[in-house]
Amino acid sequence: MKIGGTWNHAPVAAAVERTASALVGAALDADINFFDHADSYTCGKSETVFGRILKVTPGLRDRIVLQSKVGIRFPNDACLSDEPARDDFSRAHIIRSNEAILQRLQTTHLDILLLHRPDVLVEPAEVASAFDELQASGKVRYFGVSNHTPAQIELLKRHVRQPLVVNQLEFSLVQPALVVEGFRANQPSGVAESGLAAGMLDYCRLNDIFVQAWSPVGGGRLLKASASESGPLAAAAKLVAELALAKSTTPEAILLAWILRHPAGIQPIIGTTQPDRVRASVLADTITLSREEWYSLLAAARGQKMP
């Protein structure tokens, strides 16, 4: 999300491009081949920088899966205004935005295109028309959504012919609602706590929708004990550090292994701009948390014992 540098329309600095190139190189060296974008990230500059990396790296496009998202619009399409923003799933905007994404990424097609966050004014038939055109032209292979509820997905599915193969959702030990609602549903405060997460994970599994987790390490709040954190998160950070030490791995690996341990096969979308953090993250593939460890982390992060 942040590899384009500043959230404005200023030119991309050379130092930003060097940092982005080092980051992508570290990811490729670690056998990461999936790259997630959105047309809104740093006002489009994140895709521009990545496109330049693709251009100077022969054969790279054929070795990676490229995903982007559309729908978030800035007021007057000017980044970071004080005016209210809006979401736009109109046919015209989806088609136009996808074309701009391809130009910035310097590629002929996306492997996956997601609707970024729900547009309250969505006309599902317009989405369906846009998806048909993009698939028929070869500009998008697969489609999905982000931050959508089961009911919102069902509404789209009544019109969209293509399978919706992805739902990208916030999920981490800092934001564990997707799993918490499963055991809280039959408790007095369970409905209030689960909120829009109710049934989401099970729905996606039942409908073969791949779940991607954004912000999978909770913005780094559990990577180390911090004086700015107190209560459950401080206790959880301490437990993460203890498990990392015991397993000779990194805190990043523990936090991501917690997500990977779930049988839904959730895919963490790491958002760091630091190559060292990428290398620390992929160590998650080398460890497996026990049930006791998994639940202990969840209880610590929530500050509540399991019911």
- C-alpha–C-alpha distance, residues 262 and 272, integer Å: 22
The number of angstroms, rounded, from the C-alpha of 82 to the middle of its chain's C-alpha atoms is 26
Element (H, E) at 22: helix 14-29
283: left (phi over 0), alpha (psi -120 to 50) or beta: alpha
Q: Are 39 and 5 spatial neighbours (Cβ–Cβ below 8 Å)?
A: no
Q: Give, as one character, the DSSP assignment of residue 269.
A: E
Bridge partners (DSSP) of residue 169 are 213
Bridge partners, residue 214, by sequence: 170, 269
Question: Measured between alpha carbons, how far is 167 from 198 in angstroms, rounded to an integer?
Answer: 15
Whole-angstrom distance, CA of residue 22 vs CA of residue 277: 12
Our answer to whether residue 41 is catalytic in this structure is yes
Residues in Cβ contact with 193 at an 8 Å cutoff, skipping those fewer than 6 apart: 177, 180, 181, 184
| Residue (of 68, 45, 49) closest to 140 by Cα position | 68
Selecting among 41, 142, 203, 295, the annotated active-site residue is 41
Question: What are residue 16's DSSP bridge partners?
Answer: none
User: CB–CB of 185/191 below 8 Å?
Assistant: yes
DSSP single-letter state for residue 70: E
Q: Would you name the residues annotated as active-site residues?
A: 41
